[in-house]
Amino acid sequence: MTPFEITLKNIDEFCANQKISYSIIGGIALISYKIQRTTNDVDVTLLIDLDKINDVGEKIISNFEPLFSGPIMFFQKYFVLPVIDKGTNIRIDFAAGLTEFDKKVIQRSTRKEFGKLNLPFCSLEDLILYKLFAFRPRDVSDLHEISKKYKNDLDKKYLSKLLNDFAELERGDMKENFKKIF
């Protein structure tokens, strides 16, 4: 197995042992959809309740190396816990999936083959929404690659509903950027 596959296996085993539902998002998810992409880390959304954030954070840092001091306070403040897989030295960003959107992403995730593993990946539509939300230069590039390969295969009804929901939250830019790219 590659170092990334080992890291993904460690994440999957950790979440299974802790009975935490999760979804892989970000660059690794893009790669799972056969889009050429390099990445240096693994992005994971965990389905947890706010009142469990300390407990989950403690469990994470007992299995993975925190990236810096004060990891639990950082997790409480920013809802992301950056760590390193001790065996592979690959960075993992564990995000607390606290919103209804995050819950939906995890519910809609499907397990699929990645190398020798079978893992839960977010849907392509949800990945698009994450990328439209962040909209950094790398995300824009990723969105163009998704559009080239999957433009006609997307659940546009689902995307339209969610983009309208985000517009109500003063993120109308997401809808406009989607129209420009797709």
1-122 CATH pick, 3.30.460.10, 3.40.50.300, 3.30.590.10, 3.55.50.30? 3.30.460.10
What is the three-state SS of 32-91? HCCCCCCCCEEEEEEECCHHHHHHHHHHHHHHCEECCCCHHHHHHHHCEEEEECCCCCCE
Whole-number pLDDT of residue 18: 97
Whole-number pLDDT of residue 147: 97
Q: For the chain, give every domain's residue range.
A: 1-122, 123-182
Which segments in the chain show pLDDT lower than 50?
Answer: none
DSSP string, 111-123: EEEETTEEEEE--
Q: Look at residue 94 and give its three-state secondary structure.
A: strand
Whole-number pLDDT of residue 60: 98
Tens digits of residue pLDDT in 89-103: 999 999 999 999 999
Neighbours of 16 (CB within 10 A): 10
For 124, phi and psi rounded to 5 degrees?
-60, -40
Whole-number pLDDT of residue 125: 98
Neighbours of 66 (CB within 10 A): 17
